[in-house]
Amino acid sequence: MGIPLVSSALCHSSSNGVFTSREFIRTELSASNSYSLGLKFKYQQFHTGGSTMCRTLCCSRRKPRGEERVWRRKTTPQNVDFPPRLPKKKKKPFPIPFKEIRQAAKEDKKLALMGIEKPLEPPKNGLLVPDLVPVAYEVFDAWKLLIKGLAQLLHVIPVHGCSECSEVHVGQTGHLIQDCQGPTSSKRRGSHAWVKGSVNDILVPIESYHLFDPFGRRIKHHTRFDYDRIPAVVELCIQAGVDIPEYPSRRRTNPVRMLGKKILDRGGYLEEPRPWSSAESSSLLEFDTYRASERFPCPPLSDIPEISQETMDAYQTVRKGVRKLMRKYTVKACGYCSEVHVGPWGHNAKLCGSFKHQWRDGKHGWQDATVDEVFPPNYVWHARDPGGPPMRNQLKRFYGKAPAVVEVCMQAGAHSPDEYKPMMRLDIVIPDNEEANLIV
């Protein structure tokens, strides 16, 4: 539909021979909400003998409607960098900016000085979140399935671990990349000392103290042996609603009341039940990685692809479920070492031996934990041809990496998730040793 334009111009000459042109532009548009009305005045001066053409611009802007949206295609990167290795002689960065932590502490202190109780929502007040109880059971079942699947796959897929450092390789033989960080690596010029690996080399054992009441008495250094240590993922599931007879947990019906950092009402202290004996706790082996390969025999070769895909799905379920639970339930991690504690506060056991532990008397520097600290991915080099020649140090910039569980399942026949393909660098052609020096 055309836009009618009505223009009227008035021109007159001044005494100094300069023509003055005043132009009035009026736009007449339809009474629609899709266009905006425009009204413009223009004042121009033209010298004698110059151009007397008047330029008029009429601009109309179309307003976007409410139901119209712009959809952008979500692009995935072709290649991504490997996760950086954090230096051991430096504190880990805070997951939450320190300014936000300090601001929240100031607000809590301000409410405490005013005598106002701290507003707490489940699970910060000790009550369960009903919507996360099914998620906790799903993560717990997937965790047991993950251990069983890895124990069965390790009978078929060879795994090697370095006896001097934490390097792991999935393949027929260990790689030749000289990146060992062990104490005697200088004698071997950075080469790894490969030995046969186990499930603990694939799933890094991150353990935590089991607490009957997370809001009860804190663990002291001299009372640390009174508490059992179990996988941190299992302890997170227990506090989120999973009931395990061997590891009971207190389920509150009345919320915890706090004034600043002081607990006003925690419902009293309850006597913890007696620990179970080893004969009664035979079912605990289902979610423990210790000697898991001995408990599960080698499956038939025809079942390997199905088991690998189930293990891959279980790994994805555990990782997504842990991330969902950690958005509500508090998990603390030491900023200097790999210690993890599930609960509102960290324990007081003086077991930290990392950077400048003498200044802290061996106490841990607690801060909010991340998913990778509770459930580490444990990245390994991705072998495109597990039965081919070993990886060489000269070509390490052309190789990719993947989580150890994903690498084991892929070599057993499972489909690789799309989120890990950019790090595997599948689109990079690996050159020969002679050609590597010619590539810039």
pLDDT at 335 over 70: yes
pLDDT digits (tens, 9 = 90+) for 16-46: 444 444 444 444 444 344 333 333 333 344 3
- Which residue's entry shows tokens 């599960």? 296
Mean pLDDT across 398-408: 94
Side-chain-side CA neighbours of residue 57 (13 Å): 2
pLDDT at 298 over 60: yes
pTM score of the predicted model: 0.79
pLDDT at 350 over 60: yes
Listed by start position, the domains of the chain span 1-62, 88-154+210-268+282-373, 158-197+377-440
Positive or negative torsion for Cα 60, 63, 68, 69: positive
How far apart (Å, rounded) are the C-alpha atoms in residues 127 and 145? 28
DSSP secondary structure letter of residue 91: P
Model confidence at 76, in pLDDT bands (50, 70, 90)? low
- Which residue's entry shows tokens 């002689």? 89
Model confidence at 248, in pLDDT bands (50, 70, 90)? very high
Q: Which amino acid belongs to residue 63?
A: K
Burial grade of 306 (CB within 10 A; 0-12, 13-18, 19 or more): middle
49: which 2 tokens?
Answer: 């003998």
Mean pLDDT of the chain: 82
Look at residue 374 in the predicted model and tell me its pLDDT.
96
- Which residue's entry shows tokens 């104490």? 183
**Any residues with CB less than 8 A from the CB of 288 and at least 6 apart, and which?**
147, 230, 231
229 φ, ψ to 5°? -110, 125
Q: Which residues pair with 230 in a beta bridge?
A: 208
Asked if residue 62 lies in contact with residue 35, where contact means CB atoms within 8 angstroms, the answer is yes
Is the link from the previous residue into 299 a cis peptide, with omega within 30 of 0?
A: no
Mean pLDDT across 372-389: 92
Look at residue 261 in the predicted model and tell me its pLDDT.
84
169: which 2 tokens?
Answer: 């390789």
Mean pLDDT across 266-295: 72
Is the link from the previous residue into 123 a cis peptide, with omega within 30 of 0?
A: yes
Mean pLDDT across 330-345: 94
pLDDT digits (tens, 9 = 90+) for 175-195: 999 999 888 888 999 999 999
| Highest-scoring range by mean pLDDT, 95-99, 262-266, 436-440 | 95-99
- Which residue's entry shows tokens 């000269």? 394
Q: Which amino acid belongs to residue 428?
A: I
Model confidence at 339, in pLDDT bands (50, 70, 90)? very high
Model confidence at 11, in pLDDT bands (50, 70, 90)? very low
Classify 20 as helix, strand or coil.
Answer: strand
Classify 261 as helix, strand or coil.
Answer: coil
